[in-house]
Amino acid sequence: MKFVQENGALLAYHGGETLRIEGWGADSLRVRATCFPEFTKYDWALTEEPEKTQPVIEIGQEDFWVGDGSIAKQPTASITNGRLKATVNFAGVLTFYRDGKQILREYYRSYGGTLSQGSRCLKIVNREWKGIIGGSDYTLNVKFDPNEGEKLFGMGQYQQSPMNLKGCVLELAQRNSQISVPFLVSSLGYGLLWNNPAVGRVTFGCNYTEWIARSTKQMDYWITAQDDPKAILKAYTAVTGRAPRFPEDRMGLWQCKLRYRTQDEVLEVARAYQKEGIKIDQIVIDFFHWTVQGDWKFDTTYWPDPKAMVDELHAMGIKVIVSVWPSVDRKSENFGPMMEQGMLIRTERGAAQTYDYQGDCVEIDPFNPATREYVWEVCKKNYYDYGIDAFWLDNSEPDYGVYDFENYRYYDLPALQCSNMYPQMYSRVFYDKMKDLGDGTVVNLLRCAWAGSQKYGNVVWSGDVPSTFQAFYEQVQAGLNMGLAGIPWWTTDIGGFMTDDVADPNFRQLLIRWYQFAVYSAVLRMHGDRGPYNIPPLDTRDWGGGYLHTGQPNELWSYGEDNYAIMKKYYDIRISMHDYIKALYDEASENGSPLIRTMFYEFPADEKCWELQDQYMFGAKYLVAPIFALNCYERSVYLPAGSWKLTSDGTVYEGGQTVTVKAPIEYMPVFERV
């Protein structure tokens, strides 16, 4: 092992691998390794200029067991950046310390070791590079020792019950309702970003942690040591970016359904809300308002005058958002030129097709600058110039017909090496241009994200999830982990996306419980595919804005007078919290704090708060306890230290105890910190 100092970085050379460790912001280090002669040009999520620091590098020697039982000296080195220290031994094994206490160490079980590690004969190395047969790149496997009792959170959104990820296996890949944002928060006081958009897997096992990239050119991760989760998020978003200031005129109700089929339907709904005295901030025009996928324009048969529609909605104070998909049908007027100019995803073998819902489609390649320019110009002409305020960038994973990532290739890299970054690049087709136009904060809606997506004006929703109480429970933990992964603008389809029968009283109860939760979340958005599908299509063509089905009505008054009264009451609560919600959005842009927060985010010293996932904090003031079961009309709630006022009747409880409170269908338990 050879160690070198270079411009404030520690470099180590061993067995054909180059390891580079350097300060990257206060109390933080960036760690890279490669088996190529040079590191790549990609900084991936680390887009912000880090705070300048003066790391201390020391190169020395350590004791080493020789095969005959004697002790020899071997080189060792360390780099200390504030509270975080990393040591590298003669075999290249990394150990990290926070304020002198070990927090993380690479897993190494091979012959020979320091006096503290002893010898093992398993021949398992800490960083395993395996050349891909027939190619120049590698699969990479990086292992870390487990920490007993450690809890891990963040990593984006996975459709599962556990919020604590210790013991979980997570696919590092994007799918509909699965969002890989590879940043974790540890209960031991550190955060770690796997700064690599390659498709792979992470296993947070009890025997070791294992990160796998299926195809990559280098290892790249960033680690920070801080006092508590809030400080960890602040440090993380300082180097990956923070959400911009959220516009006040979109903090209320967003109205949506699958799907408003005509210009008249949209205006009728908007006028009805105005008549009811309910202000909606934004109305959403969903998919298949277009001619064919990839034309990115209204079907004028059903949308004869989009500008007049937008003007009337604007006069009511309503913003307009329209759905754009990345799929381009072979029948689209844009397919030929985009395919010819290399603007679509390429397949490595077989037919040129990546998506097959309602058409033979290939999806755009947003890694290509020419693609981003082309798609924006079409959408600007056909949407933005009419006054459309925002874009719903659906299927943004992208939603492949088959998730064979090894069969797809983008502009300058195979999908296996960068596909997790696709949704972020897709969002930038619109964000970069809209930001340059300077019309205010850009707010677009996406179904997926990656590390750093928060800086590109992305409201992320949790995808096409079922309308069940189990799914509702899973969305809450998913949203809390998304927040810990640095994505504060997060929302769900109220009531879930897939509903068989809107008249089912069980579904309507679920809808109310979900709606109550959504009032205490970042974005209050009505959406869903509401059955039964007994509404006939508008025409018999197999293309255009009239042939596809639509769901049942999904406005607040669509579910009976009793439920409408509850939703109207909670709408009023949402509006009354406007100034408070604005302050939460401002905080997200200042230090990266999410709007919905795990209990331990606000109470890190309370060990019980690290165990809770069925209640959360909406900012620092409100403790929210959703109802996750049918016909459940009371629930137990843990109150941390302090005084807490139950908002239903004003009763004040002292913290440090679990209380049981009533939860009739008209009320979800919420406690105000006093």
Question: Catalytic residues, which ones?
Answer: 394, 397, 464
Closest to 289 (Cα-Cα) out of 555, 552, 543, 535: 543
Residue 593: how many CB atoms within 10 A of its CB? 23
Rg (CA), the chain: 26
The DSSP result for 96-149, as a single string, is EEETTEEEEEB--BSS--BTTT----S-B-SEEEEEPTTSS-EEEEEEE---TT
Structure tokens at 517: 């939760």
Q: Is 438 helix (H, G, I), strand (E, B) or coil?
A: coil
Distance CA 249, CA 172 (A): 35
User: Tokens at residue 8, please?
Assistant: 């404030």
Residue type present at position 639: L
Written as six digits, the tokens of 274 are 């105005």
- Is 364 in contact with 343 (CB distance < 8 Å)? yes
Residue 110 and residue 106: Cα distance in Å, rounded?
12
Scan for tokens 């089905």, then name that residue: 549
* Distance from C-alpha of 607 to C-alpha of 601, rounded to nearest angstrom: 12
CA-to-CA distance for 663 and 633, rounded, in angstroms?
A: 4
User: From CA 195, how far away is CA 234, in angstroms rounded?
Assistant: 17
Helix (H) or strand (E) segment spanning residue 531: none
Residue at token pair 């990839």: 294
- Strand locations in 244-306 (E): 253-255, 280-285
Tokens of 541: 């063509």
Residue 105 backbone phi and psi in degrees, to 5: -145, 140
First to last CA, the chain: 58
- The amino acid at 222: W
Contact present, 262 and 270 (Cβ < 8 Å):
no
How far is Cα 508 from Cα 512, in angstroms, rounded to an integer?
Answer: 6
Distance CA 399, CA 396 (A): 7
- Three-state DSSP class for residue 609: helix
Q: Which two tokens stand for residue 33?
A: 């390794």
Q: What is the distance between the alpha carbons of residues 584 and 598, in angstroms, rounded to a whole number? A: 15
Q: What's the rounded Cα separation, in Å, for the pair 186 and 231?
A: 12
The identity of residue 51, as a single letter, is: E
Angle, CA 249 vertex, CA 244 and CA 255 arms, to 5°: 110
Place of tokens 């050349």: 131
Structure tokens at 461: 């929703």
CB 102 within 8 A of CB 85: no
Q: Which amino acid is at 657?
A: Q
**Structure tokens given for 200:** 């792979």
